[in-house]
A and B are shown apart, each in its own frame.
Chain A
Amino acid sequence: MRDVIIIGAGTAGLTAAIYALRAGKSVLVLEQGTYGGQIVNTPKVENYPGIEQISGYEFASGLFKQAEKLGMEYRNEKVIGVRQEGTCKVVETEGETYEAAALVLATGAKNRPLGVERETELTGRGISYCATCDGMFFRGKKVAVVGGGNTALEDAAFLSNYCEQVYVIHRRETFRGEDKLVKELREKANVEFLLNKTVQELKGDTTLQAVMLRDKNSGEVSRLEIDGLFVAIGQVPENGIFADLLELDEGGYIVAGEDCRTNVEGIFAAGDCRKKTVRQLTTAAADGAVAALGAAQI
């Protein structure tokens, strides 16, 4: 039996590993994909205190190495279930079963799909969820970004360096993202804001050619010719496997306060998978520390 099992090796999970290891605990981290979480897709992190600028990849691999050096046990396995046997927590993966005194769930969140027809079919064929990964394939072309948060605005700024024209499609009049980013975009000649509009339909045979936009106020539908559509409308959690054991909110996030404690003693939720208002790199790291120090006392 381990002291602490952490599910998810993003910023929250790996920070939890560092804190639990430094508290002298044995730690197993389980990750279904590659480690690092969402920050890996970010080319430049410029809001992490004390680090002026770092790439998401460098940040994530630094975090991983730090945890590894402290003695983290890391396994690439997908968790399919979690249950409680007495005070012991049992984690089942595809092929193995592990036990621990405490669990830290740091499963993060994945990109929210638009929810329009043919979206899956056209993903990688004009539809993308990662501007920094796929932007250069649209060099000199017309693209649109959907969303109103920092990710959408940063994506638009990044794409404006490569693309002939960048449209920012947003369902509201104002942006949730930073004013500084909005101002920077307004100054760019090849960026145009299409506000109060939603994507209603995707057009194109084998690759995306256009989208149909619906104006929220007038109800009018218009056609926008584009080669690429970058979707940045937030995230959705993947906490379905915990639904029987833990309280989730209507959006599927794990209900836990700032102390990261869930409704089950000894199970903590950290980072983007937890119900909270601010989801940033710093808050993911903060959650990881809080959850690990709580778990270390179990």
Chain B
Amino acid sequence: MAVLHLTTENFRREVLEYEGTALVDFWASWCGPCQMVGPIVEEIANEVTDAKICKVNVDEQPDIAGKYNVMSIPTFIVFKNGAPVKVSTGAMPKAELLGLLR
């Protein structure tokens, strides 16, 4: 599956009302570590079948970032059945990111 880009329009439907696991990458175009981890997130999106892989551009969607107290990027939040269960900040290698989903 391709990476799903979230907005205030689709956030409720795609994450909060989704019965399953969703990984959300909070990022921005000017953030080096976000750019570094971006291709890894894409790779994971193409590989995993049991989780939804999403991205929130914090510049374009400040309300979503604010709601989850994102004060550092990249921040990764794992949602299970619409509830945030894990938070991790900073760029990380693929194995570690996949580990967040387990």
Contact A34 B36 (CB under 8 A): yes
Distance of B57 from chain A, by nearest CB (Å): 12
Question: Is A137 among interface residues, defined by CB-CB distance under 8 A?
Answer: yes
Chain A residue contacts of B59, Cβ below 8 A: 136
The answer, yes or no, to whether B89 is at the interface (CB within 8 Å) is yes
Contact B71 A137 (CB under 8 A): yes
- Least CB separation from A228: chain B residue: B71
Given A43-B30, A132-B31, A137-B72 contact (CB < 8 Å): yes
Contact: A126 with B71, CB < 8 Å?
yes
Size category of the B interface is 20 to 34
Expressed in whole angstroms, the minimum distance between the Cβ of A9 and any Cβ of chain B is 11
Tell me if B101 counts as interface (CB < 8 A to partner A).
no
A33, A43, A55, A137: which contacts B91 (Cβ < 8 A)?
A33
Most chain-B CB neighbours within 10 Å: which of A35, A41, A124, A132? Answer: A124
Across-interface contacts of A43 in B (CB, < 8 A) = 30, 32
Tell me if B64 is interfacial: C-beta within 8 Å of chain A.
no
- A207 to B70: give the CA distance in the assembly, Å: 12
B58 is an interface residue with CB less than 8 A from chain A: yes
B92 is an interface residue with CB less than 8 A from chain A: yes
Q: Encode B70-85 as 1/0 by CB contact (under 8 A) with A.
A: 1111010000000000
Total of A-B residue pairs, C-beta within 8 Å: 72
Nearest A residue to B93 via CB reads A76
User: Are B32 and A41 in touch, CB under 8 angstroms?
Assistant: yes
Interface: B12 (CB within 8 A)? no
Q: Is the CB of A34 within 8 A of B91?
A: yes
Give Cα A36 to B34, complex, Å: 12
Would A34 and B37 count as touching, CB distance under 8 A?
A: yes
Q: Is A253 an interface residue (CB 8 A)?
A: no
Residue A56 CB within 8 A of the other chain: yes
A123 to B90: give the CA distance in the assembly, Å.
Answer: 11
* Cβ 8 A contact of B72, one of A36, A42, A76, A124: A124
In the complex, what residues of A have CB within 8 A of residue B34's CB?
Answer: 133
Check if A137 sits within 8 Å of B32, measured CB to CB: no
Are A134 and B93 interface neighbours, CB within 8 A? no
- Which residues of A does B touch, CB under 8 Å? 31-36, 40-43, 55-57, 60-61, 76, 123-126, 128, 130, 132-134, 136-137, 207, 228
**A–B pairs, 5, beta carbons within 8 Å:** A34-B91, A36-B36, A126-B71, A130-B72, A133-B31
Residues of B within 8 A of A (CB): 28, 30-37, 40, 58-59, 65, 69-73, 75, 89, 91-95
